[in-house]
Structures are given as C-alpha cells and as structure tokens.
Amino acid sequence: MSALKELTEVRRPRGAPRVRERNPDNKAAYLFLAPWLVGLFVITLGPMLASLVLSFTDYNLLQPPEWIGLENFERMAGDPRLWASLRVTFVYVVVSVPVQLAVALAVALLLDRGMRGLPFYRSVLYLPSLLGASVAIAVLWRQMFGADGLVNQVLGMLGFTDLPSWISNPDTALSTLILLHVWTFGSPMIIFLAGLRQIPRQYYEAAALDGAGRVTRFVRITLPLLSPIIFFNLVLQIIGAFQSFTQAFIVSGGTGGPADSTLFFTLYLYQRGFGQFDMGYASAMAWLLVVIIAAFTAVNFLFARWWVFYDD
Amino acid sequence: MTTDSTMQATRTVVLPDAARQREIGPRIRLTGWRGSRLRSVLKHAALILAAIVMIYPLLWMVVSSLRPNDLIFRQPGLWLSTLEFDNYVNGWNALTYPFSQYLLNSAIVVIGAILGNLISCSLAAYAFARLRFRGRRLWFAVMLLTVMLPFHVVVVPQYILFSQLGWVNTFLPLIIPKFLATDAFFVFLMVQFIRGIPRELDEAARIDGCGKLRTFYHVILPLMVPALATTAIFTFIWTWNDFFTALIYLTSPDMLTVPLALRVFIDSTGGSDWGAMFAMSVVSLLPIFLAFLLGQRFLVKGIATTGLK
C-alpha cells in the first residue's frame, strides 16, 4: 500500500460495517500515546488555536492582545511587501519544484539497477540534499553568485566580461535560490529510484516484444506505474518549498533584498513577528500560509485522479 | 561504501516488508541499442559529469578554506599551491567564544532531540501499529495531517508559551517538543516499519506472558533498530541544520548553535573574510558528512521506504 493511499484513505471505506473491537487495548494504547497526545495538544493544536485568535488581535508581547477583528487581514490586503513576498514564493515553488523533480527523475532513470558504480553515483548525488538546508551552503551560495564569486570566475575564464553580482541584482537573485533548490534533487531521486525498482521488468520485455520503442515504454509503462510516487514527491516538495527560509535569509542577509526579490513569505513572517514583534499580524500571515498550502494540496489531490494510477 | 548487492541483502534481512516485495524476474537484456556498449559509455559520461557539477562547489569550498583570502577570488580551480590553516585558526576564534562552544551547544541540542524522537515516536508508533483502541483512525489521521502542517502556524504562540515559561535562551524549546513526538514524520515512518514485523512474534510474546510494555521493549524495539537508526540520523542532520527555531530562541552569545554562529560571523565581518567563513562552514558540515557516511544505508532506505509502502 502506498503511503499516499494511506494519507487519502484514513477513514473507513464507505459501506464497510463498523466493527466493534473485542478486547480493545484502550488503556495501554493511550499510555503509549501519552507523550504524543501531550505534544499534539500543548505544542500543536493549542498553539494553532491561539494563533487563530491572535490573528484577530494587535499584540506586541508587552501589552495584552487587543481585539481588532479583521483589521490584520485588511492590512495584509494593502501591504505591498506581503504581495511581493507572495509573488516571490509562488515563483519559487512553481518553478523550482517541477524542475527539481524533473531532474531527479531524469537522473534516477539513468541509474539502472545493478549498473556499475551505482552506490557511488547515488551517494554523490544525494549528499547535496542533506547539506542544502544548512547555513554553510547558503554562505557558499552567497559567495558563488557574488560579484567576484566562483560562478563569475568561471564565466570570466570563458571570456565573459561585465558580469553582474547575481545575488545583488533583483532580476537574478531569486534564480540563484531556485538553482540551490534544484541542486538538492537527491532525496526525491532516491524515492524515484526505489519506485523504479518496483516496476516488474516483464512489463518492459513484453512491450519490447510488441515493438514498443523506448519513448513508448517510458510513457506507457514507467510514467503510469511511477505516478503515485511522482505525486507523493510533488505534494511533499510543494509543502516543503513553501516553508523555505534559511537560504533566503542568509543570502539576503535577512532582508529579503535586493528590492524584496528574495523576500520569501516565511522570511517576511519572521521580520513581522520576531523583528517588529507584530505577533497578531504574523499569526494572520501564518494562517494565510496554511490556507495557501491547503489549497495547493487540495488542487493536487483533485487533479490526481486524472493522472495518478494505482496498480492495486 | 556498501555495494549494491549487500544493500539488497541487508534490505531483506532487516526490512521484513521486503520479503513481500513483488518477485522480480531475472534480468533479460532488451533488444536494440538499450544494451549496447556505446549507450553505457554515454550514460556513465553523463553521470560523471553530473556528479562533478554537483559536487564541485563543495570541493571548491573545502579547497578555498585552505587558501589565503586573496587567492579565493582568483582561483576557480581546485589545486592548492600552499596549505594554510590560518583560516581555521581565525575562524575558530573570530567570535566572542571559540567555535568549540557552538559545537558543544549544537551537540547538546542534537543529542537531546535524538533521544526525544527515539523515545516518544517509537512509543506512539507502537500504539498506532499494534494496539486496538477507540479513536485509532481519528488519531492516526490527525497525526498524518500534522506531518503536512506548516510549522509557522504554531511558531508565534509557541514562542509566547516558551517565553512565559522562561525558556527563551535555553535549549529547552529545541529539545522538549521532540520528547512529545512533534516530529510526526518519524511516527509515520516507524508505523510503516512495525507493520512489516510479523504479528506472530507479538502473539508468541503474549502467550509467554508479556504485557504490552514488555512486548514493545523486548520484541518490537530490537527489531526496529533500522527504523530507529534512520530516525536518529535524520534527526541529527535536520537538528544540526536547524536555523529558524534556534534563531528565534537563542540570542545570547554563549548559547548560539553552529548555524547561528556562522550567521553572526557573516554579519560581523560584513561577508568579507570568506576564507575563515568557509573554514567554519567546513567545520559545521563535517558532522553531517560523517553522519552521512556512517548512516548512508539507513538514510537511503529510510527515505526510499517513506515514499513507497
């Protein structure tokens, strides 16, 4: 059973009889679940509710919260930096996730089962995705795409002159962060590799006997059988990309600049909440993020029925 | 580095689910140019090129950390004419405290987080995978939803809560939530793993007179070592890298974790002392790299299985 089916089918199938369980382990179960339940209510659900309430208040941590109704949301509608951060985040998610997944799939396809050197390639290509979220790599990126950085040194050797500083140019700064995200294609690649292994080779052999070419075999066998995994990667990567923070913070020095071109939504939320202690506004922003992510996820699930194919 | 065949072998041994994997027939070469030698050569060439491009910035950073500052801006190559450790000495002592202090802080947080995740997530996972109780489906659905919940929606009230408890500028806000299984992703991972362990073992233990706790501790826990290792290593890497939470809660100079120290470094030098910055970046990446080398098998398996079964 795929993890994703698990996510979609947590409820009892329609029409299935409700089974009264004999000898339930209620007491033991809730003892085992106790830490998780405390965490759920104290660290997750409680704060969620609190942040919903706070989003209708003006609160700076010092004075008690003051109820202001929908004012935070009205202010958000007229806040150009908020719109800028939304645009930046949308572009980042919509460009970097599909490109990253396409690269991950392409490389996974190159890595055949049983090929020579597979563990080596897999390790080298996977490593960046473990390091990618670190401050150290963001520091490296800052240097690489700076005026005298590695990228311009290489381009200079190839004869290019008058090279810009990629991170201080509003037109190119976001692209460098997208490139950083694509660079971390290793973890979806590993999931694709595992998925490719699950496809029985007989399918390909039968198709080859019937005269199907490589492209046909890819489109008719690989893609459909891999579609649940593509979907799984897509959903999780989108949710993850919406929450990117460290890279933009370090590369822009915490400003989201130049000209707000790398002002990720979470970065703006941080500035509002923990820079200016505008906690009510930050809570309202957080709920907007929840709504946006939920909407993206829902649309994903909605479209899934047209292209995601379940074998079992 | 393990070869692929040993990977396969360990997979069958340690991952009971693998036994249920679809039987895959012997590999038959497909006709046409798929099997040809030229194609294989081209493929390796493409992969080697990709690997070099991917890894080049990392190697260049390591090499640059061993170069005098003025050379960093003129040498995109990887050769070293001299070997200088000045950057490491400068970087180590550039901030208020020596870098060892920040490494120690990070180590405390990471060890606490690993312990927390291992204990709390395995307990919850056992209940979800093995015990029958009222509300099981509902709680499981809630647990899956929290995996997808953006962290930012709880961060403001959590901050208020922890600051009222007087926990700001302590490591507690980074550690205590882990003891409460807030990284639900690992609960999910362990549930999937436990489901692959034959139920007969539980029943045998029950017949032998084991209670739930003893069954969990003496039967399930030893069998789920691979899942625990995966959790430990991912917790290590993610907590070590964690910047946002540390940024919010740790502000006094003696409490900084490694990522925060690097960030303070950038601000204090105005981003000019690249050599020292790279040196400390290398130092900060080294533990992750070691975790990667030691735990590669579990990392690969852990990430691969979450997307599949």
Write the ipTM. Answer: 0.90
Please give the residue that has the higher pLDDT: either A311 or A286.
A286
Q: Hey, are the CB atoms on B133 and A35 less than 8 Å from each other? A: no
Q: Hey, are the CB atoms on B134 and A26 less than 8 Å from each other? A: yes
Q: Hey, are the CB atoms on A25 and B58 less than 8 Å from each other? A: no
Instruction: Give the distance from residue B78's alpha carbon to the nearest chain A alpha carbon, in angstroms.
Output: 11
pLDDT in tens, B174-215: 999 999 999 999 999 999 999 999 999 999 999 998 889 999
Interface with chain B: mutation pick from A140, A233, A244, highest number of B CBs within 10 Å: A140
The percent of residues in chain A predicted with pLDDT above 70, rounded, is 92
Q: Which of B192, B238, B307 sits opposite A195 (nearest CB)?
A: B307
Rounded CA gap, B304 and A198, in Å?
Answer: 11
Cβ–Cβ < 8 Å for A14, B113: no
pLDDT at position B4: 39
Cβ neighbours of B57 in A, within 8 Å: 140, 144, 150
Query: CA B42, B46, B50: angle at the middle one, nearest 5?
Result: 170
Q: Work out the pLDDT band at A257, boundaries 50, 70, 90.
A: confident
- Hey, CA dihedral for B267, B270, B275, B278, is it positive or negative? positive
Q: What residues form DSSP beta bridges with A58?
A: A66
Q: Which residue has 């070293």 as its token pair?
A: B80
pLDDT in tens, A209-251: 999 888 999 999 999 999 999 999 999 999 999 999 999 999 9
B254 pLDDT higher than 80: yes
* Mean pLDDT of all residues belonging to chain B: 87
pLDDT in tens, B99-156: 999 999 999 999 999 999 999 999 999 999 999 999 999 999 999 999 989 999 999 9
Instruction: Give the distance from residue B7's alpha carbon to the nearest chain A alpha carbon, in angstroms.
Output: 9
Rounded CA gap, A30 and A26, in Å?
Answer: 6
A6 pLDDT higher than 80: no
Q: Hey, are the CB atoms on A282 and B156 less than 8 Å from each other? A: yes
Q: Residue B166: how many CB atoms within 10 A of its CB?
A: 9
Cβ neighbours of B187 in A, within 8 Å: 36
Residue type, B292: F
pLDDT at position A15: 65
φ/ψ (deg, to 5) at B90: -60, -45
Q: Residue B6: how many CB atoms within 10 A of its CB?
A: 12
pLDDT at position B75: 80
Instruction: Give the distance from residue B134's alpha carbon to the nearest chain A alpha carbon, in angstroms.
Output: 6
pLDDT at position B16: 38
Closest CA to A133 of A260, A243, A227: A243
Q: Which residue has 């040196």 as its token pair?
A: B279
Q: Work out the pLDDT band at B18, boundaries 50, 70, 90.
A: very low
Q: Work out the pLDDT band at A20, boundaries 50, 70, 90.
A: low
pLDDT at position B38: 87
B39 pLDDT higher than 90: no
CA dihedral A54, B120, B244, B273 (to 10 degrees): 160
Rounded CA gap, B236 and B229, in Å?
Answer: 10
Q: Which residues contact A297 (CB under 8 A, 6 or more apart)?
A: A235, A238, A239, B148
Q: Hey, are the CB atoms on A2 and B237 less than 8 Å from each other? A: no
Residue type, A119: P
Rounded CA gap, B65 and A49, in Å?
Answer: 48
A1 pLDDT higher than 80: no
- Residues within 8 A of B (CB atoms), A 232-251 only: 232-233, 235, 239, 242-243, 245-246, 249-250
pLDDT in tens, B255-306: 999 999 999 999 888 777 899 999 999 999 999 999 999 998 898 888 887 7
A184 pLDDT higher than 80: yes
B27 pLDDT higher than 90: no
Rounded to an integer, the average pLDDT of A281-297 is 97
The percent of residues in chain B predicted with pLDDT above 70, rounded, is 88
Interface with chain A: mutation pick from B29, B33, B54, B299, highest number of A CBs within 10 Å: B54
Rounded CA gap, B151 and B168, in Å?
Answer: 18
pLDDT in tens, B61-80: 999 999 988 888 778 888 88
Q: Which of A157, A193, A198 sits opposite B22 (nearest CB)?
A: A198
Rounded CA gap, A204 and B188, in Å?
Answer: 33
Residue type, B240: W
pLDDT at position A4: 56
Q: Which of A32, A123, A135 sits opposite B127 (nearest CB)?
A: A32
Q: Work out the pLDDT band at B37, boundaries 50, 70, 90.
A: confident
Q: Which of A6, A23, A43 sits opposite B180 (nearest CB)?
A: A43
Q: Hey, are the CB atoms on A286 and B152 less than 8 Å from each other? A: yes
A258 upstream amide cis, omega within 30 of 0 = yes
A105 pLDDT higher than 80: yes
Instruction: Give the distance from residue A206's alpha carbon to the nearest chain B alpha carbon, in angstroms.
Output: 10
